[in-house]
Amino acid sequence: MTKNDILRPLAPADLEMVRSWRNHPSVRDYMLTRQEITAGAHREWFNRHRDDPGRALLVFECEGTAKGFVQFTPSLSAGVADWGFYTAPDAPKGTGRRLGRAALAEAFGRLGYQRLCGQALGGNAASIRLHEALGFTEEGRLRRHFFDGAGWHDLVLFGLLKNEWQESQRG
């Protein structure tokens, strides 16, 4: 992460850009919901969640250009959240790492979470590698948990604690 990497709130003017990323096969093929998202459904999702306390819908920017999307969803337990994310389909390699570092600073800093959880399909090598590189621990694997219409996939569960992240910042 450089000082020019920022996360800012998703705004109405971003919706079409983020929807085009989310619908792109390089993103959609790794999601648990695979259907194309219509403009109406996307706007409805944004309006439903934009003011949710604890939930954060964020655009990742590098040097002033939007390069990805990050979402934090609070879990039932206070201080715990799930995250979801994707980079713009044309983002250069390395963007995921930068997005991840900015997201962890946001999660454990401003948002004050104590624990962050992630999930990746067993075949999503980039996401699994990224979670590992960011310091997440693989905490479980739900075997054959997701059917994509053609085959079954494991779901890999990741967790990272605030003190682990803080430790990694000192190193």
Ligand X SMILES: CC(C)(COP(=O)(O)OP(=O)(O)OC[C@H]1O[C@@H](n2cnc3c(N)ncnc32)[C@H](O)[C@@H]1OP(=O)(O)O)[C@@H](O)C(=O)NCCC(=O)NCCS
Residues near ligand X, by CB under 6 A: 26-27, 30, 85-87, 91, 93-97, 119-120, 124-127, 129-130, 133
What is the closest distance, in whole angstroms, from the C-beta atom of residue 163 to ligand X in the complex?
A: 23
Closest C-alpha among 83, 69, 152 to residue 119: 83
- Supply 118's token pair: 């992630």
What is the closest distance, in whole angstroms, from the C-beta atom of residue 110 to ligand X in the complex?
A: 21
**Of residues 78 and 142, the one with the C-beta less far from ligand X:** 142
Distance, CA of 80 to CA of 99 (rounded, Å):
20
Contact status, residue 55 vs residue 10, Cβ threshold 8 Å: no
| Closest residue to ligand X using C-beta atoms | 96
**Of residues 110 and 129, the one with the C-beta less far from ligand X:** 129
What is the closest distance, in whole angstroms, from the C-beta atom of residue 168 to ligand X in the complex?
A: 14
**Of residues 51 and 63, the one with the C-beta less far from ligand X:** 63
What is the closest distance, in whole angstroms, from the C-beta atom of residue 39 to ligand X in the complex?
A: 21
Greatest alpha-carbon span in the chain: 46
SS3 34: coil
Contacts of 12 (CB under 8 A, 6+ apart): 46
